[in-house]
């Protein structure tokens, strides 16, 4: 006898309830992870935002013979302790470069000392009472203000927080990544092409495949040790250089690129290969003219993600000495250099609150770059994705 | 008396002589006219031998998929391969252009001869072979490129054209021969995959004939298509046999009856009967073929 709708519905109710419950639980999981992300990013923004601002003071600067010899004399004694030492240091060069300034007195904005900066941001009060009074007067006159911190984006590290910037670390990162990509993109893609398109499917290639997958799971610090042992100790590549850092990261990124390229190649339907073989293509022609063009977006996406991973890597680079103190960036891949995550690491170990905000600011810059790279990967995938 | 035809047909052939014309360039010579005519031949038509297969055995690992296949395929005819699924039709077809090379586990014994050349011989380049033996697959598989590129790619690759004008002409001719020109002439640079299934299949045919092969292999070319596209392709096969030799696999008995001059019936890796289509469908010599054709089997 068949069941009535009532009977069936009674039983269904329980099933529907369960699926509703599952829906809420899965949605809860999503909300939880989204919440973590929001908290993390907003915390970083709140802490890092001040790093993009810098206190500046409007003062009278007299460019005369005395201040050329003794830069401290260029400004009034009262405000002198409020101004960054970096300003005084740069003064003689400025006068040398602009002789027409000689003998004039200019009213201009100069970078304030980090104690002023921190005081104005309400973080730390390490000013002497007398200086504080001078500062308050300046603030009332509108001659002390927080302005956009261009220095942060144009200079390298410094012992003076108000002069420390991310630029040389960013250049170091770019150089390192160039080395990494130059090494592991061609090698990785060619290895994957060989394994997917040319190699016979035998024990040896299976063994290689397993080992490549294992390699991708090796903790990155081990690659740092390997880099130290091989590149620095054996081949004598200069320590701390983008060359050694890039080569070390290449070891780490190579399996990622091989694996993602193989996946991209494997996702090309065999019907395309058959069509190409059918018209008399040689194996390489099949790969070059038909398989690679179709899988290129996938290969690029995988490589960019591998690159982004390498870019955030710190441990192996610390081992090969890329935590150097680099005030001025060099664009040679053999000179000592640092990278963004290592710079962040350096700043994070400073006790000073001025450096703490640099840490968060640096993280924001790094995050922005990584988000940009990932967005680029997604965009590439969508733009060139084809149906066949 | 069932197997007489087949036996006659087999015994009247010379034993395979692979290197008969080895000194001649195989691709500038016309196919050698065949002297030993099997009884199944239509005596009224002047026909040449295109592909000769003798005692062909094929294994996928330990599994024997083809057993002692011997068959002559005549130039400018349509030959249909029929039989229940899994009987080795596609496998046999792939032997003719060595697409089985792509499958690791395959081992082959026997002779497949074109123009007096053993296609499995060590000196035979499979790329050269596939230049002369084109293929159309079950599921239309145009390259993910423009309609124009789909056709122009292979001739350009084989250095058949150097000037752009020649290439344009060749593309137009191939598309006309495939009966597709009028439908696509205004959108040659749109992706081949944007066409309908039937059009895609004709594009694949255009791609195959663009290099002017001798033989075109078709593996169930209409099984993924609607009846109207199927009829179009059947008409096309009839027209194309003027210039090409067509070997087609089909599941559809009526189709074999409509388009094929000769029909070969395969069963469990063996070729049971090879006969003129009319003969095969009106008065088959073997019981198995008769059962299959009348629908009592598979
Ligand atoms: N790539 C392959 N590897 C192993 N066995 C195969 C492969 N292709 C086909 N076969 C086997 O060979 C036999 C013939 O297959 P096939 O030629 O595809 O038959 P048909 O085209 O007549 O349906 C079947 O038993 C099938 O399972
Ligand atoms: Mg088949």
**Contact partners, residue A87, CB within 8 Å, separation at least 6:** A110, A111
Mutate to test the interface with B, among A267, A279, A289 (most CBs of B within 10 A): A279
Examine the domain organization and report whether A227 and A298 are in the same domain.
Answer: yes
Asked if A289 and B127 come within 8 Å (Cβ–Cβ), the reply is no
| Alpha carbon of B103 to ligand 2 centroid (Å) | 15
Q: Is the pLDDT of residue B18 over 70?
A: no
At A189 the pLDDT is 96
Give contacts of A281 with chain B, Cβ < 8 Å.
127, 154, 157
Nearest-ligand number for the alpha carbon of B87: 1
In a domain, A380, yes or no: yes
What share of chain B in percent tops pLDDT 70?
84
Asked whether the beta carbons of B277 and B80 are under 8 A apart, the reply is yes
Q: Is the pLDDT of residue B47 over 80?
A: no
DSSP for B79-133, please give it.
EEEE-STTSSHHHHHHHHTTGGGGSTTEEEEEEEEETTEETTSTT--HHHHHHHE
Other CB atoms within 10 A of residue B20 CB? 14
Atom 1 of ligand 1 has which residue's CA nearest to it?
Answer: B103
Q: Which tens digits make up the pLDDT trace of A29-42? A: 999 999 999 999 99
Q: Which candidate, A53, A120, A41, A85, places its Cα nearest to that of A358? A: A53
Q: Which candidate, A329, A327, A317, A346, places its Cα nearest to that of A171? A: A329
A204 near B CB under 8 A = no
Q: Which tens digits make up the pLDDT trace of A57-89? A: 999 999 988 888 888 888 988 899 999 999 999
Rounded to an integer, what distance in angstroms lies between the CA atom of residue B185 and that of residue B176?
10
Mean per-residue pLDDT of chain B: 85
At A386 the pLDDT is 59
Q: ipTM surpassing 0.90, yes or no?
A: no
Atom 2 of ligand 1 has which residue's CA nearest to it?
Answer: B60
> Cα torsion at A160, A163, A167, A170 (round to 10°)?
30
pLDDT bin (cut points 50, 70, 90) of residue B249 is: very high
At A384 the pLDDT is 77
Asked if B141 and A275 come within 8 Å (Cβ–Cβ), the reply is yes
Q: Which tens digits make up the pLDDT trace of A321-364? A: 988 888 888 888 899 999 999 999 999 999 888 899 999 999 99
Q: Cα–Cα distances in Å, from B125 out to B129, B132, B295? A: 6, 11, 42
Q: Is the pLDDT of residue B22 over 80?
A: no
DSSP for A355-384, please give it.
HHHHHHHHHHHHHHHHHHHHHHHHHHHHHH
Q: Which two tokens stand for residue A175?
A: 């150089």
* Pocket of ligand 1 from Cβ distances under 6 Å: B 60, 65, 83, 85-91, 103, 105
At A6 the pLDDT is 85
Q: Is the pLDDT of residue B297 over 70?
A: no
| Alpha carbon of A29 to ligand 2 centroid (Å) | 48
At A1 the pLDDT is 66
Examine the domain organization and report whether A246 and A122 are in the same domain.
Answer: no
Asked if B137 and A282 come within 8 Å (Cβ–Cβ), the reply is no
Distance from CA of B208 to the nearest CA of A (A): 7
pLDDT bin (cut points 50, 70, 90) of residue B298 is: low
Q: What is the pTM of this model?
A: 0.83
Q: Which tens digits make up the pLDDT trace of B138-177? A: 999 999 999 999 999 999 999 998 899 999 999 999 999 9
At B38 the pLDDT is 39
Q: Which segments of chain A have a pLDDT < 70?
A: 1, 386-388
In a domain, A347, yes or no: yes
Average pLDDT over residues B246-260: 94
At A11 the pLDDT is 83
Q: Is the pLDDT of residue B83 over 90?
A: yes
Examine the domain organization and report whether A122 and A198 are in the same domain.
Answer: no
Give contacts of B131 with chain A, Cβ < 8 Å.
280
Q: Which two tokens stand for residue A153?
A: 């984006």
Examine the domain organization and report whether A318 and A232 are in the same domain.
Answer: yes
Examine the domain organization and report whether A130 and A205 are in the same domain.
Answer: no
Asked if B211 and A280 come within 8 Å (Cβ–Cβ), the reply is yes
Examine the domain organization and report whether A205 and A254 are in the same domain.
Answer: yes
Examine the domain organization and report whether A319 and A365 are in the same domain.
Answer: yes
Q: Is the pLDDT of residue B7 over 90?
A: no
Examine the domain organization and report whether A349 and A320 are in the same domain.
Answer: yes
**Contact partners, residue B77, CB within 8 Å, separation at least 6:** B47, B241, B245, B246, B261, B262
DSSP for B246-297, please give it.
EEEE-S-HHHHHHH-SEEEEEETTEEEEEEEHHHHHHS-SSHHHHHHHTTS-
Examine the domain organization and report whether A111 and A235 are in the same domain.
Answer: no
Give contacts of A275 with chain B, Cβ < 8 Å.
137, 141-143, 204, 207
Q: Which tens digits make up the pLDDT trace of B91-137? A: 999 999 999 999 989 999 999 999 889 999 988 999 999 999 999 99
Nearest-ligand number for the alpha carbon of B219: 2
Give contacts of B207 with chain A, Cβ < 8 Å.
275, 279
What residues make up the domain containing A59?
50-92+106-149
At B143 the pLDDT is 95
CATH T-level assignment (fold) for domain B9-293:
Rossmann fold (3.40.50)
Q: Is the pLDDT of residue B28 over 90?
A: no
Examine the domain organization and report whether A211 and A340 are in the same domain.
Answer: yes
Q: Is the pLDDT of residue B29 over 70?
A: no
Examine the domain organization and report whether A334 and A218 are in the same domain.
Answer: yes
Distance from CA of A354 to the nearest CA of B (A): 57
Q: Which tens digits make up the pLDDT trace of B200-248? A: 999 999 999 999 999 999 999 999 999 999 999 999 999 999 999 999 9
At A185 the pLDDT is 96
3-class state of residue A110 by DSSP: strand
DSSP A113: P
User: Given CA atoms A137, A140, A146, A150 in this order, what sign does their dihedral have?
Assistant: negative
Examine the domain organization and report whether A218 and A141 are in the same domain.
Answer: no
């Amino acid at each position: 006898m068949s069941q009535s709708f009532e009977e069936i519905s009674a039983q269904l109710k329980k099933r529907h309830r369960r699926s509703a419950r599952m829906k809420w639980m899965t949605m809860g999981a999503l909300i939880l992870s989204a919440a973590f992300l929001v908290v993390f990013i907003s915390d970083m923004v709140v802490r890092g935002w001040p790093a993009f601002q810098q206190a500046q003071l409007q003062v009278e600067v007299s460019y005369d013979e005395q201040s050329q010899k003794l830069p401290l004399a260029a400004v009034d004694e009262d405000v002198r302790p409020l101004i960054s030492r970096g300003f005084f240091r740069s003064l003689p060069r400025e006068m040398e470069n602009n002789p027409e300034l000689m003998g004039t007195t200019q009213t201009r904005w100069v970078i304030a000392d980090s104690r002023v900066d921190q005081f104005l941001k309400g973080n730390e009060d390490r000013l002497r009472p007398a200086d504080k009074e001078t500062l308050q007067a300046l603030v009332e006159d509108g001659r002390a203000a927080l302005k956009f911190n261009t220095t942060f984006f144009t200079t390298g590290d410094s012992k003076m927080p108000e002069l420390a910037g991310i630029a040389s670390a960013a250049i170091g990162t770019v150089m390192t990544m160039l080395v990494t990509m130059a090494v592991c993109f061609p090698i990785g893609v060619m290895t994957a092409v060989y394994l997917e398109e040319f190699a016979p499917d035998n024990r040896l290639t299976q063994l290689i495949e397993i080992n490549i997958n294992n390699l991708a799971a090796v903790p990155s610090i081990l690659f740092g040790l390997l880099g130290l042992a091989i590149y620095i100790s054996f081949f004598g590549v200069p320590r701390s250089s983008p060359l050694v850092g890039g080569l070390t990261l290449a070891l780490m990124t190579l399996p990622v690129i091989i694996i993602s390229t193989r996946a991209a190649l494997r996702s090309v339907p065999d019907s395309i290969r058959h069509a190409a073989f059918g018209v008399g293509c040689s194996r390489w022609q099949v790969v070059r003219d038909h398989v690679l063009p179709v899988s290129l977006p996938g290969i690029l996406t995988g490589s960019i993600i591998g690159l982004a991973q390498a870019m955030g890597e710190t441990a192996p680079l610390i081992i090969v000495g890329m935590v150097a103190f680099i005030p001025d960036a060099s664009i040679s891949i053999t000179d000592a250099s640092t990278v963004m995550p290592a710079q962040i690491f350096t700043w994070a170990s400073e006790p000073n609150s001025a450096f703490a905000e640099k840490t968060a600011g640096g993280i924001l810059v790094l995050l922005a770059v990584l988000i940009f790279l990932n967005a680029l990967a997604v965009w590439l995938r969508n733009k060139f994705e084809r149906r066949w | 008396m069932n197997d007489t035809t087949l036996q006659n047909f087999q015994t009247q052939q010379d034993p395979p002589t692979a290197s008969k014309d080895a000194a001649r360039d195989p691709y500038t010579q016309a196919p050698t006219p065949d002297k030993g005519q099997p009884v199944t031949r239509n005596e009224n038509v002047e026909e040449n031998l295109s592909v000769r297969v003798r005692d062909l055995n094929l294994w996928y690992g330990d599994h024997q998929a083809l057993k002692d296949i011997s068959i002559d395929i005549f130039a400018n005819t349509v030959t249909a391969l029929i039989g229940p699924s899994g009987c080795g039709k596609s496998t046999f077809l792939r032997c003719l252009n060595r697409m089985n090379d792509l499958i690791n586990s395959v081992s082959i014994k026997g002779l497949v001869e074109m123009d007096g050349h053993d296609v499995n011989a060590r000196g035979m380049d499979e790329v050269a072979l596939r230049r002369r033996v084109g293929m159309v697959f079950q599921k239309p598989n145009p390259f993910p490129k423009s309609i124009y590129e789909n056709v122009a790619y292979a001739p350009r690759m084989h250095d058949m054209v150097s000037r752009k004008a020649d290439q344009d002409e060749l593309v137009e001719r191939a598309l006309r021969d495939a009966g597709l020109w009028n439908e696509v002439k205004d959108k040659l640079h749109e992706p081949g995959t944007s066409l309908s299934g039937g059009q895609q299949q004709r594009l694949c045919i255009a791609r195959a004939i663009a290099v002017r092969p001798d033989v075109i292999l078709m593996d169930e070319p209409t099984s993924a298509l609607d009846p109207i596209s199927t009829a179009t392709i059947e008409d096309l096969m009839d027209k194309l046999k003027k210039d090409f030799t067509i070997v087609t696999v089909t599941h559809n008995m009526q189709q074999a009856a409509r388009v094929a001059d000769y029909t070969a019936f395969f069963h469990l890796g063996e070729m049971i009967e090879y006969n003129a289509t009319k003969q095969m469908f009106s008065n088959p010599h073997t019981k198995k073929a008769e059962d299959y054709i009348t629908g009592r089997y598979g």
